[in-house]
Structure 1
Amino acid sequence: MQIYHRHRVCHRHFSEEFRVTLPSRTGIRANAYPTLFLSESQLIYKDVNGNNENINLNNLPSCSSAVNVISPNKEVLQEEQQSQCSIKETPRKARKSYGGIIRKFGSSRQTYLSDEVKDIYKKVVTSYKHITRNKRLVASFKSRFANISSSLRAELLKNLFEHVNKPTVDFFFSQLANQPKTPKSRRFTIQEKVFAIALLKSSGKTYKLLSKIFAFPSKSTCLALLRQIPMRAGLNEQIFLSLKSAVQNMSISGRSCIVMFDEMSLAPNLQYNIKEDCIDGLENTGSYKRAAIADYVNVFMVKGLFRKWKQPVSFTYSKGPIKSTLLKHLIVKVIGKCQEIGLKVLCTVCDQGSANQAAINSLLSQSRSCSEFQVNGEKIIPLYDIPHLFKGIRNNLLKKNLYIKLDNKLNIAKWEHIIDLYYIDRDAPMRICPRLTEQHVIPGKINKMKVKICTQVFSYTVASHLVTFSKWKDNLPNDAERCLFG
């Protein structure tokens, strides 16, 4: 029988005697013909020797009915629509042409080549076949290796993500997505930008260093996101909402906090806010505005006592120092808002400004107490920050004397004692207080804003030498011994 080149016969139709089992070659013999699982139809088969013989095709399964056989006296059996066996139609493979290699030998056909050149040509073709086969093997191995690597990578990532938190996972995938890209092609989510802003605000130099290693948003991108946050004078409701969600996860001690407030002077300036369609730089307390150019800002901040956290919650603009009545109203309002979200305010801290003292004294008078006031039934203790207390003591000593009664004896502390100590030490061959200068003791040369200048005068070294010098005759009066500032 004659079989089309575009069809194949399943191996199950050939017996073992027609199969080739050599190590270098597998398949069937050239004179093989199907003898197994054939139908009862009598088909004429013409073998390779030209002999015709009749073969009974027995026990042919339904899947073998798709074999296209052409007989001189029979029509082609076609039942391909019902075929589900392994006999499949496959396109004929294109035969590889080696004409280009022959042309390199200066000929158009292999028959025109000499015997020596033919041997070389056959070796070249054989080598080319080996190279092609090796390329296919390499491509196959690469594909298998990629699949195995992908599976291992997926399993490793799964095991990794089971032992790290979600921010670490998000950061990992962000680096995978953005590091291969150029800086201008990178895209970041809001959460990734917020994480970058937290690093930027913690340390600008550290963020600059990390940006050279990791794929982080640029500084301008972070600032652009910050500008989208609405910041208006008065209490910031959005900040209190964020604090409320954070407070719910805090312990009782973690919720204990203090309210700090202070003001500073500003350079008068007006600027049109395009986003809010308003003019910034005018007096604004959040509840009302006034057409007066502001030159002072007052800021309220909440800080944890037992946990390290702090958060500004309110600011106001004013022309000149803030009024004590307005400051008193803001203190009560901020404390009440903190209590509303679950924080426990224990005290307030401020400097000894005139408006601050007036507001605190007004709150104390309402509570009829000299050490505490109440907001919503909870006791609040007002405190003045220690640096300003030191400066206050120093400034009072510059103009007034301090009377101290010790051991039923009245003693007087004067600033002149410290001035005399400075002159005695300055004129000595070897100075005992070398860091004490005119900027520390001479009233007209003291920088009253620097706390360091004040605390250095009230140090243990100055106090101990002041006591020592007071025991020397003709140096300091005896009452200087009582001036112990350390």
Structure 2
Amino acid sequence: MEVQYKNKCCVPGCTNHASKRHRFPKDVGLMRKWVDSIKLPHLTTMQPEEIYQSYFVCDRHFAQEYLVPGTRRGLRKDAVPTLCLSVISEEVEDVQEVVALEHIPLPISSNEECAHVTDAPDLGAISTSSSMELSGLSQELAVLSTSGSEVHVTTTTVDCNNSTTAHTESYSQHWEPAVASTSGSSNITHDVCPPTRPETPRKKRSGILQAVNVTRQQDLTPRCKKFYRMVGEWGKKTARLYHKVRNLKVRLLNAERVSKCPNFQNLIENVNETTYMFILQQVRLQQLVPKARRFTLNEKILALALYKNSAKGYRLLSKIFCLPSPRTLTNMLNKIPYTPGINKHIFNSLKLAVSKFRNQNEKLCAIVFDELAIAPMLHYNQKRNCIQGVEDYGTVRSAHIADHANVFMVKGIYRQWKQALSFTFSNGPTKSGRLKEMLTQVIRECQNIGLKVMVTICDQGTANQAAINSLLRSTNEECQRNGVENTYGGFLVNGEEIIPLFDVPHLFKGIRNNLLSKDLQFEEDGELKIAKWDHVKQFYLLDSLDDTRLCKKLSDAHVFPQKMNKMKVSLMTQVFSQQVGSLMKRICQWDTRSEYNLPPEASQTADLILFMDQLFDSLNGNNKIPSASKILKGGISKNSGHEEFWQRAIRILESMRFYNTKKARFVKVPSSNNLIKTLKGFIYLRKKMLEKVKYFLPRALNQDCLENFFASIRTHGRRNVNPSAAQFITSFKVLLVNNYMSSHSVGANCERDDTTGALDSLRCFVVSFCWS
């Protein structure tokens, strides 16, 4: 059932009952423009207040640019009716001309007969079709009749033989007072009647109630009333849909008209897709008030990319261009469901980026995982209706308050891209069994989207070592069940071999930290040597005696344990450097004649420093071609000497033993054992990688990317060294979105394309879940 508005549209001949009605404007000048456009003579004699209270115009007669959805009035302040008026106005003018031509006599009273006009003009030149049209327009004029006065019109009908027949038709029409007669129409008389308001003929009641012979809703039964209300709601929905369809038709006509414009074709050819969308956005929304602007999803995604790159720059652009508010973008991000565990929309967006890789070797990647300490704090999430801050592994939740977050990240090996994947909350460090299950699940999800996981990287945490050892034992047991020999250097997941590696900077920091309180005994080239940290202290104090220092980078934070940040990698590498090792080896042979004179045994400590410097360079190269001074600090290839040096380094590391002077015995240090396992993993990985690529960079095989990610979480928005679970989730989501536009994101490492597809990964991330 079509909804019929109570107020009728005052445009002559308009039969639209479903469109929205609009009152005449209160501004007198604008109201006169409306009256001139509609061309109703009786409106010119009425007062503005009376027109405002009694007359309405529907949506059908306004252009699309004048309609403003979402506002109470629904029209712009300068709106004027311009559509569907010309035909009706022309018909009214033609009828008036016909009345003038046919010498219409206006009777003195409404009951008197009007005499026929004897000297009618010759209409022989008028064609039959024109006469029929005039007759139809005369009948249209009858619709506009009123009860104020009766007009008898004598018209002439022209037949096919050009013969004229005069007849009289009666019309009721309210005219303006004192219609002046022309000199050429001397036999036309006028009867001036006082102006009266036209009465709209009341239509016969129609609808559902009439169909069931009921006049009022109160006469219906309760069930019928319910059905009646349902039909009414359906009618309203139908009216709204009709309004949308009509607006869509108008937009399609306008789009077709614009598409044929030559300037528009030149615009499409000379700009890219993103720029074209932005230009159309400004043309469509620039004239609207801010609260009436509506943005599409693609326009919001473009604005989100600008906002996340620079909030200050986005505020400046918002003053120049029409852009969504930051609150709109924040609400869009809040709709993205991001929970602990596996989030399918993350892997769906990553799958889209992986599918664009031009080279299959770009899919070679490593899984990096580590833990971050968070503040134990509970937070109620109103939108998700859950409590954040408890132990949560995605599929399993418990009532224990979480104080650790375990994060998984994927990183490219052949091409260094990165992407955070998932996180979980735990009470204390994650147990090895749970960690093994989570690691296996993340690897399988990466394999399902097309990535080739080659290695896993983690630190020397107890749970990490236990989880890796458990995976290695599972692979060994599987080989035994199948009756084959275990020739793998790693563990199997879905039949694909994955090599476990430990983070190289953590291993070197562990050896340095043990050397602070223990003496290191090792064998190099068949010679037994002992390295002591006291030799490093004496070298630093000797170098600090004079202002002309040789090692300016060394400070108290490098040498003295009470002032040292033991987790900072730069403090370790600047001590285990070629400069310190070579100078110590040279100065220990001199007599400096000071109390800090180095003994000859310091040369053995210098040999350890030089060896550690070479080993760190071989595992930290970031350039394909190394420098002449550091030939091992380069890419790993078939012709590089990395494997020979690593074989020699393994023999030295296996001979290392730390002597605890307080306990007077040798002790085991996990760092040296894990470094041996990592070197063997590098040797095995070199063999597998060089079958696919010509070279690869060893610096890609550490967890610096994850450490930088943790640093970004701690500094997001403000300095928050110990974030809570709710703050961690918010920062994690923001950094995840930012990475889709960064130079290290997955999408940026496929084909470089800033014109089309530049925001595909971000768009897939936003829309790859069930959008509400």
Structure 2 length-normalised TM: 0.43
Shift of 1:250: 2.5
Greater RCO, 1 or 2 (C-alpha within 8 Å, sep 6+)? 2
Shift of 1:395: 1.5
Q: In the alignment, what sits opposite 2:128? A: 82
Aligned in 2, Cα 1:192/1:419: closer, same or farther, shift over 3 Å? same
User: Does 2:598 match 1:475?
Assistant: yes
Aligned in 2, Cα 1:317/1:276: closer, same or farther, shift over 3 Å? same
8 A contact 2:488–2:497 mirrored in 1: no
8 A contact 1:272–1:278 mirrored in 2: yes
Equivalent position amino acid for 1:425 in 2: D
Q: Give secondary structure in 2 for the equivalent of 1:393.
A: helix
Gaps of 5+ in 2: 1-100, 104-117, 135-256, 477-486, 592-596, 614-772
Aligned in 2, Cα 1:151/1:367: closer, same or farther, shift over 3 Å? closer
Q: Give secondary structure in 2 for the equivalent of 1:162.
A: helix
Aligned in 2, Cα 1:191/1:469: closer, same or farther, shift over 3 Å? same
* Alignment equivalent of 1:196, drawn from 303, 322, 334: 303
Q: Within 5 Å, give how 1:260-279 maps onto structure 2.
A: 260-279=368-387
Range 379-388 or range 310-319, more displaced: 379-388
Aligned in 2, Cα 1:345/1:439: closer, same or farther, shift over 3 Å? same
Q: Give secondary structure in 1 for the equivalent of 2:307.
A: helix
* Alignment equivalent of 2:354, drawn from 247, 252, 256: 247
Range 365-374 or range 475-484, more displaced: 365-374
Q: In the alignment, what sits opposite 1:96? A: none
User: Does 2:471 match 1:363?
Assistant: yes
Q: Within 5 Å, give how 1:24-423 maps onto structure 2.
A: 76-79=121-124, 80=126, 82=128, 154-181=261-288, 183-251=290-358, 252-307=360-415, 309-368=417-476, 371-423=489-541
Q: Give secondary structure in 2 for the equivalent of 1:321.
A: coil
Q: Give secondary structure in 1 for the equivalent of 2:366.
A: strand
Name the CA distance, whole Å, in 2 between partners of 1:207 and 1:471: 63
Aligned in 2, Cα 1:470/1:208: closer, same or farther, shift over 3 Å? farther
Q: Give secondary structure in 1 for the equivalent of 2:362.
A: coil
Q: Give secondary structure in 2 for the equivalent of 1:472.
A: coil
Aligned in 2, Cα 1:224/1:266: closer, same or farther, shift over 3 Å? same
Name the CA distance, whole Å, in 1 between partners of 2:277 and 2:120: 69
Q: In the alignment, what sits opposite 1:147? A: none
Name the CA distance, whole Å, in 2 between partners of 1:462 and 1:209: 51
Aligned in 2, Cα 1:429/1:254: closer, same or farther, shift over 3 Å? closer
Q: In the alignment, what sits opposite 1:135? A: none
Equivalent position amino acid for 1:446 in 2: M
Q: In the alignment, what sits opposite 2:734? A: none
Equivalent position amino acid for 1:197 in 2: L
Q: In the alignment, what sits opposite 2:150? A: none
Range 201-210 or range 400-409, more displaced: 201-210
Equivalent position amino acid for 1:476 in 2: P
Q: In the alignment, what sits opposite 1:140? A: none
Gaps of 5+ in 1: 1-67, 89-149
Deviations 1:133-161 (Å, cap 9, x if unpaired)? xxxxxxxxxxxxxxxxx989942331231
Shift of 1:224: 1.6
8 A contact 1:348–1:383 mirrored in 2: yes
Equivalent position amino acid for 1:315 in 2: F
Aligned in 2, Cα 1:209/1:433: closer, same or farther, shift over 3 Å? farther
Q: Within 5 Å, give how 1:438-477 maps onto structure 2.
A: 438-473=556-591, 474-477=597-600
Range 212-221 or range 277-286, more displaced: 212-221
Name the CA distance, whole Å, in 2 between partners of 1:154 and 1:192: 24
Shift of 1:183: 4.8
Aligned in 2, Cα 1:205/1:255: closer, same or farther, shift over 3 Å? farther
Aligned in 2, Cα 1:206/1:299: closer, same or farther, shift over 3 Å? farther
Aligned in 2, Cα 1:282/1:151: closer, same or farther, shift over 3 Å? closer
8 A contact 1:364–1:370 mirrored in 2: no
Aligned in 2, Cα 1:164/1:309: closer, same or farther, shift over 3 Å? farther
8 A contact 2:447–2:453 mirrored in 1: yes
8 A contact 1:371–1:381 mirrored in 2: yes
Equivalent position amino acid for 1:166 in 2: E
Q: Give secondary structure in 2 for the equivalent of 1:311.
A: strand
Equivalent position amino acid for 1:221 in 2: T
8 A contact 1:346–1:381 mirrored in 2: yes
Shift of 1:180: 4.7
Shift of 1:298: 0.7
Aligned in 2, Cα 1:84/1:294: closer, same or farther, shift over 3 Å? same
Aligned in 2, Cα 1:190/1:75: closer, same or farther, shift over 3 Å? closer
Query: Percent identity among equivalent residues?
Result: 47
Range 420-429 or range 206-215, more displaced: 206-215
Aligned in 2, Cα 1:206/1:468: closer, same or farther, shift over 3 Å? farther
Name the CA distance, whole Å, in 2 between partners of 1:303 and 1:413: 37
Shift of 1:342: 1.4
8 A contact 2:405–2:423 mirrored in 1: yes
Name the CA distance, whole Å, in 2 between partners of 1:446 and 1:479: 24
- State how many pairs are aligned: 356
Structure 1 length-normalised TM: 0.66
8 A contact 2:535–2:598 mirrored in 1: no
8 A contact 1:469–1:476 mirrored in 2: no
Shift of 1:277: 1.5
Equivalent position amino acid for 2:439 in 1: I
Q: In the alignment, what sits opposite 1:426? A: 544
Aligned in 2, Cα 1:398/1:371: closer, same or farther, shift over 3 Å? farther
Shift of 1:449: 2.2
Q: In the alignment, what sits opposite 2:148? A: none
Shift of 1:409: 1.3
Shift of 1:326: 0.7
Q: Give secondary structure in 2 for the equivalent of 1:389.
A: helix
8 A contact 1:420–1:476 mirrored in 2: no
Name the CA distance, whole Å, in 2 between partners of 1:223 and 1:75: 78
Deviations 1:322-364 (Å, cap 9, x if unpaired)? 1111111111110011111211111112222222122122222
Name the CA distance, whole Å, in 2 between partners of 1:399 and 1:435: 23
Aligned in 2, Cα 1:213/1:409: closer, same or farther, shift over 3 Å? farther
Aligned in 2, Cα 1:429/1:230: closer, same or farther, shift over 3 Å? closer
Name the CA distance, whole Å, in 2 between partners of 1:459 and 1:206: 43
Range 213-222 or range 272-281, more displaced: 213-222
Name the CA distance, whole Å, in 1 between partners of 2:470 and 2:382: 41
Aligned in 2, Cα 1:431/1:171: closer, same or farther, shift over 3 Å? same
Equivalent position amino acid for 2:266 in 1: N
Equivalent position amino acid for 1:435 in 2: K
Equivalent position amino acid for 1:481 in 2: A
8 A contact 2:391–2:397 mirrored in 1: yes
Shift of 1:75: 5.7
8 A contact 2:259–2:265 mirrored in 1: no
